[in-house]
Amino acid sequence: MVQQTINMTRNELKNLWFSIPKQVNKKEIKTIVVNIKGGFYKITTDVEGYYSSSTQGGYGDNVLNVVLDRIEANDGVNDLSEYELIIK
């Protein structure tokens, strides 16, 4: 087996990356997964043109109350009331 090395400039690689076809009619995923035993929650947003995932922890047994308060607060950036709430 012969291995071939391909050298590309940063711009060539960037152009190649952005020329890859994007998924059309992508199913939007907006979830908040609360892990009661672990004391943490994870918010995932996967929508057309945007992906974000963050995990917050250290809340212990109070994690569900923290998440419910955050959903109710609606900070104007993310309307978490639109997210599916999954409790584990």
Question: Is residue 51 situated within a structural domain?
Answer: yes
Question: Is residue 10 situated within a structural domain?
Answer: no
Residue 41: what pLDDT? 97
Residue 18: what pLDDT? 85
Residue 42: what pLDDT? 97
Please say whether the beta carbons of 33 and 86 come within 8 A: yes
Question: Is residue 14 situated within a structural domain?
Answer: no
Question: Is residue 38 situated within a structural domain?
Answer: yes
Give residue 44's domain range.
Answer: 25-87
Question: Is residue 12 situated within a structural domain?
Answer: no
Question: Is residue 64 situated within a structural domain?
Answer: yes
Amino acid identity, position 43: I
Question: Is residue 56 situated within a structural domain?
Answer: yes
Residue 21: what pLDDT? 79
39-88: per-residue pLDDT in tens?
999 999 998 878 899 999 999 999 999 999 999 988 777 789 999 999 99
Q: Considering its fold, how many domains does the chain have in total?
A: 1
Question: Is residue 41 situated within a structural domain?
Answer: yes
Under DSSP, the state recorded for 20 is: S
